[in-house]
Structure 1
Amino acid sequence: MKPQDALLMNSDESSAGRTLDRNAVGFWQLTYQSISLIAPAGAMAATLTGAAVYAKGALPLAMLAGVITAAFMINTTVQFAKSIASAGGFYGYIAHGLGSRLAVFGAMLFLLSYFNILTNALVFLGGVFVPGVAAHFLGISLPGWVWWPAALLFYGLILALALRGIRPSLKYAVLTGTLEIGVLLVLSVLLIVSTPHPMSTAVFNPEWAAGGWSGFAHGVLIAMFAVSGSSAAVSLGEETHAPERRIRWAVIAAFLFSSLLFFLMAYALTVAWGYRQMGSFAHSLVPGAILVRHTLKSPALAWLLIALIANSLLAGSLAPLLSSARMVFALARDGVIFPPALGRLDRRNNPAQALIWITIAGAALSLATGFWLGPFKGFIILVTTSSMALFLGHLLANFALGPYARKCGQAHWFFHWLAPGLASLFIASAMVVTFIPPSFPSDLAPLFIFLCLVVVGLRLRQVPPRTLAQAGLLNVIDEGAPPI
C-alpha cells in the first residue's frame, strides 16, 4: 500500500476538509522542529541549569546517563514512526497498541508536557533570564513585576509567528537553529581549551551530586528530559511528505545532534566553572554567558550568546505550541476531550483556534504560577510537571509498542520488547528516586498531573462509546509494522 493511499479518513461528514496541509514538511523542517523544542541554547540557560541544581559537579555524567537512557525511549518513537503518522503523534501510536481509551490519556500526558514546555520557557525567559542579564551585564535591578509583561510579550510574538502557518514557522526554526548549533559548538570548545584543567575525570563521579545518588538521579531525569524532545517531529505526521521515512530519520538526527551538543556543553560548563564550585552555578541565573565573558574575556561573544539564548527560548516555545496545537486539533477532530471548534482549520490549513486557545491557557498558567511561587519556583514546578508528564506518556508508548508489533506479525525481541522495557524501568526508577521523599515545589507536579487525568476520565464518560472506540485511529497513516 502506498502512503498516500493509506490515509484513513473519518467517514463522518463533519471531518471533510479538516485535514492539515499534506506534504508541507520535509526532512530538515522535521529535524529542526525537534531541535527547536529541545532549544539547545535555551537549555544551556534553563534545563542544564536546572539539572546542575541536583547533579552539581557530576553534571557531565548525569548528561551522559540521561542520553543513554533517552536512547531507549527514542527507540519506541522510531519504531512507531516507521509505520504510523498523524497529527496526534503518540496519540495514534498508543491507540494502535493499547486501544483508544488509553490513547486519550497518553495524548493528554504528552499534551501536558509540551504545553508546560511552553509555559516554563516563557516564565524563565521573562522572570529569570531577562532580570539576570540586566543585573549581571547592565548593572540594572529590574522591578519585580517586569517578568509578567515580558512573558505576555513573548507569548504574543510566538502566536503571531505560529498563525502564519507551518512553513514560515519551520523556516525560521531551520535558519536560527543552524546558527545556534554552530555558535554553541565553537563556544563549548573554546571554554574547554581555555580552562587550566581541560581534561578532568572528576566530573564523572556521582558523589559530587547534591545528596549523592538521589541528586544524581534527579539530574539524570532532567538530562533525559533535555534530549527527549527529539520526538516532537511526530506531531507533524499528517503534514509530512513520505512520513514513514522522514519522521524516523528526523527523530534520530535530532537526537544525535542534541545529545552530542548537550554532553559537550555540560562538560564545558562544568570544567570552566569548576566542578567543586557547581553549587553556585545554578544560582547565577545566566552562568553560560557569565563564563563566556569572564573565561573567554569577550563581552561581544557573551552578548551573542545572550541573543541566541533569548531566540532559542522563543523558538523552543514556538515548537511545543505547534505540536500542542496539532494534538488538540486531533483530539477535537475525533470528538474527544476538546470542543469541535478546536478541530477546525483556517484558510491556511492551520489549526488557528487551537493555537490561540493554547496560547491563552499557557499565558494564564504562566502568570498564575509566577505570581503564586515567584518566577524561579514557578519555572521549577512547570518544568517538573512537563518532564513527569512526558515520561508517563512515554511509559504508555513503551507498553504499546510490543502489542502493536505483535498484531502486525513483525515483533522483534529487542526493538519491540526489551528496549522499551528497559526504557520503562529506567524512567520508573528515576522518578521514584526523584519524588521520594517529596520536596516543595517539585511535589506539586504529580498532584497537578493526577488532577488533570481525573478531569480527562470524567470527560471521557461523556463521550459516546462509538466515538471513543475510534479515537486515535482515524486520520492516521498506518502502513503496518515494517521489517526491522
Structure 2
Amino acid sequence: MEMIRVEDVRPNDLTPNVVGFWGLVSQSLAGMAPTCDVVAFMTAGAAFALVALPLSYLWAFGLMFIEVNTLYHLSKNRAGAGGYYSYVSSGLGPGAALVTGFMVSFYQVFSMAGIPVYVGGVFLPGLAHHVGLTLPSWFWIVAVLFFIGVPWMLGIMGIGPSIRVLATTSLTEIIFLIAASLIIITRAHSGHPFKPFHVGKVGYKGVARGMIFAITSFIGIGSHASLGEET
C-alpha cells in the first residue's frame, strides 16, 4: 500500500494517518455514550424486561454485530469522509444516499440538542438533589453551554486534539463503569447469577421491548465511519 506524505496533501484535502486504531475505538465509544445509556436507556429498558434486561442486551448485541460487521467490510473498500453516505451511494445510488445523509444529520442535531439539555437540566440537578445539594436555577444554562461549547471548540481545533480528548475521556468513562459494576456485583450477593439470562415472567414480549432500548444504547457505534480518509 502506497504511503501518502502529509506534504503531498492538497490544502482542501483531509490529512491521512492522523487517527489510529484506538482513536477509532474512542470515537465509537464516545458516539455510544455508555454512561448516558446506563442512566437513560438501561433504566427505561428495565421497566419492560425487568430482571431479564441483560438478555435483552445480549440479543441487541447480536443484532448490532451484523451492522458492525457490515461497516467493517464496507470500510475495506469505501473508506471516506462521506461515511454512511459513501456506503449507501455505492450500493443504492445517490438518491438513497442523500436520504441517509439527512437522516444521520438530523440524528446528530437532535442528539446535540437533547443530550446536553438532559444531562445539564435533568441528570445533574437530580444527582445534586440526591446528595443534598441545591443548584441555582440558571445552572442548566451554563451546563448546556459547556457541553455544547467544548465539543465545538475541539472541532475547530481539528481531528487530532479531538481524538486525544476522546481517548482520555472514553478510557476514564470505561474505568468508572467497570469499577461501579464490580462494586454493585459484589454487594448484590446474587444466589442465581444466570437468572437475568432467562426470559422469566416478562416473557419474550418483555425481553423484546427491553431490546428496543438496548439497541438504542448501541447507536453511535458507527460514528467512526466518516474518519476513513484520516485513518
Residues 164 and 141 of structure 1: CA distance in aligned 2, closer, same or farther (over 3 Å): closer
Do the aligned partners of residues 135 and 219 (structure 1) sit closer, same or farther apart at CA in structure 2, a change above 3 Å counting?
A: same
Given candidates 226, 235, 238, the residue that maps to 2:226 is 235
SS of equivalent residue, structure 1 residue 84? coil
Q: Where do 1:130-149 residues align within 5 Å?
A: 130-140=124-134, 143=137, 146-149=139-142
Q: 2:93 aligns with which of 89, 99, 107?
A: 99
> 1:121 and 1:162 mapped to 2: Cα distance?
18
Letter in 2 for 1:235: S
The one of 213, 216, 219 equivalent to 2:207 is 216
CA contact (8 A) 2:28 2:222 kept: yes
Matched, 1:36 2:30: yes
CA distance in structure 2 between the aligned counterparts of 1:118 and 1:54, rounded to whole angstroms: 27
| Counterpart in the other structure of 1:67 | 61
Letter of the 2:222 partner, please give it. S
Give the letter aligned to residue 46 of structure 1. Answer: A
- How far apart are residue 87 of structure 1 and its match? 0.9
Q: Residues 270-304 of structure 1, C-alpha deviation per residue, up to 9 Å, x if partnerless?
A: xxxxxxxxxxxxxxxxxxxxxxxxxxxxxxxxxxx
Q: CA deviation at 1:96?
A: 0.5
CA distance in 2, matches of 1:49, 1:3: 47
Residues 136 and 235 (structure 1), Cα distance of their counterparts in 2 relative to 1, 3 Å cut: same
Deviations 1:123-180 (A, max 9, x none): 221122111111101243764x643442133212221222111111110111222222
Question: What is the RMSD of the two structures over their aligned residues, measured on CA atoms?
Answer: 2.4
Where structure 1 has 5 or more consecutive residues not aligned to the other structure, the ranges are 5-15, 241-484
Of residues 139, 149, 152 in structure 2, which corresponds to 1:159?
152
The alpha-carbon deviation at position 18 of structure 1 amounts to 2.7
Shift of the 55–152 alpha-carbon distance from structure 1 to 2, 3 Å rule, reads farther
Cα distance 1:3–1:97, how it changes in 2: closer, same or farther (>3 A)? farther
TM-score w.r.t. structure 2 length? 0.86
* 1:249-398 equivalences in 2 (<5 Å): none
Aligned to 1:173: 166
Return the offset for 1:25. Answer: 1.2
Q: Are 1:131 and 1:142, in contact at CA under 8 Å, matched by a contact in 2? A: no
Counterparts of 2:201 and 2:133 in 1: how far apart (Å)?
33
Q: Residue in 1 aligned with 2:7?
A: none
Paired AA for residue 224 in structure 1: I
TM-score by length of structure 1 reads 0.43
1:103-124 per-residue CA deviation (whole Å, 9 max, x = no partner) reads 1111222222233332232122
Q: Which consecutive segments of 4 or more residues in structure 1 shift more than 4 A? A: 1-4, 212-215
Q: Which string of whole-angstrom CA distances, capped at 9 and with x for unpartnered residues, describes residues 297-350 of structure 1? A: xxxxxxxxxxxxxxxxxxxxxxxxxxxxxxxxxxxxxxxxxxxxxxxxxxxxxx
Provide the C-alpha distance between the structure 2 equivalents of 1:208 and 1:114, rounded to a whole number of angstroms.
37
Q: Is the 8 A contact 2:79 2:228 kept in 1?
A: yes
Give yes or no for contact 2:31–2:219 (8 Å, CA) kept in 1: no
The one-letter code of the counterpart of 1:151 is V
Match of 1:53 in 2: 47
Specify the SS of the correspondent of 2:218: helix
Offset of residue 227 of structure 1: 2.3
Separation in 1, partners of 2:193, 2:36: 26
Q: Does 1:89 align with 2:80?
A: no
Superposed displacement of residue 71, structure 1: 0.8
Q: Which amino acid aligns with 1:25?
A: V
User: Mapping of 1:94-133 within 5 angstroms?
Assistant: 94-133=88-127
Q: Is 1:18 the equivalent of 2:9?
A: no
Q: Taking structure 1 as reference, are residues 238 and 225 closer, same or farther at Cα in structure 2, changes over 3 Å only? A: same
